Amino acid sequence: MHRTLTLAIHTFKETVLQPIFSLLVVLGIAVIVVFALLPYFTLGEDTRMFKSVAFDIVLLVTLVVTLMAASRSIYEEIEDRTMLTLLSKPVSRAEVLIGKYLGLIASAAVAVLVMGLILLICVRERVPADYALSTRSIYDEELARIYQYRALHLAGVGPGLVAIWLQVSVLAAISVAVSTRLPLVVNLPLVVMVYIAGNMTRFISGAIEDRGVVTRMIGRSVEAVVPFLQMFDLRDLTVFANIRVGTAAAVSDPTAISQGVIWIATAWAAGYAVLYVIAALSSGLLLMRNRDLGGGE
């Protein structure tokens, strides 16, 4: 466990200290701020639209940063014989794989957290203007409405960011597994295709319902192998639903959902992520077991 933790810390430091990490995170922050200043002309739903767009930005930036690091995390060390030196010490291949993976998702968590804090600030600041309210009002009722609207929109940000991190963690596990055999130029496009396919799996069940036996078998196989990324798309709950955060008139909606419902959905997504990550890393360990660690195949 100690060796795995040491590898994780080393991988984490190596990833976050890369110039591309800081550059992309700063770029993501800048884009979030710019979108926070733009009107969306949605007749009272501007804040929801901003949150949806900002979640996409956080996901995209974190995904690119993490996949670039993950796709070269093991392959390059094998090619330059660093892995051979590492494994000459009392460190198993499983410890190397798990340690590097944990370091990568820890760096992804930092990226999500930093951009998420900026997202929280932007949501908080744009709420009054979106609802034509003034923070300088002398009326307690108007100030209470601002507080409630802010609470409503901020309540879904935390679970939304966790879901983004879980999605990136699943794709990072695939990338780490593939990196035991393939270089970055193959690994990165492959995982991007898996990401696209994972977002399409939500349509498979409907598409194969009235098809033949062979088509249904193929469809079910794809569903079993490709990650079901819809599990991590919680926007219907975190962005577009009214969340019960108080009793003020601003959010008096009998159909409003509780924060507990959102966190339960997040917990289901986390459970699925853990199972898929275990399967992906186990596959990576099998691929690494017969790999020539002296460089080349």
Structure tokens at 283: 């596959």
pTM of the model: 0.88
pLDDT band at 85 (very low <50, low <70, confident <90, very high): low
Asked whether residue 262 carries a pLDDT value surpassing 60, the answer given is yes
Alpha-carbon gap, residue 148 to 246, rounded angstroms: 7
Question: What are the distances in angstroms from CA 255 to CA 130, 237, 245?
Answer: 22, 12, 13
Question: What are the distances in angstroms from CA 3 to CA 9, 89, 94, 97?
Answer: 10, 10, 11, 11
Give the rounded percent of residues in the chain with a pLDDT score beyond 90: 34
Alpha-carbon gap, residue 83 to 99, rounded angstroms: 13
Asked whether 119 and 157 are in contact (CB, 8 A), the reply is yes
Asked whether residue 247 carries a pLDDT value surpassing 60, the answer given is no
**Mean predicted lDDT score pLDDT of the chain:** 84
| Structural domain boundaries in the chain | 2-289
Cα 107–110–114 angle (5° rounding)? 150
Q: What is the mean pLDDT of residues 7-24?
A: 90
Alpha-carbon gap, residue 179 to 69, rounded angstroms: 10
pLDDT band at 41 (very low <50, low <70, confident <90, very high): confident
Asked whether 62 and 111 are in contact (CB, 8 A), the reply is yes
pLDDT band at 249 (very low <50, low <70, confident <90, very high): very low
Structure tokens at 178: 């593939």
Closest CA to 27 of 69, 60, 67, 73: 60
Structure tokens at 214: 């062979």
What are the tens digits of pLDDT across the range 134-190?
877 787 787 888 888 888 888 889 999 999 999 999 999 999 998 888 888 888 888
Give the rounded percent of residues in the chain with a pLDDT score beyond 70: 85
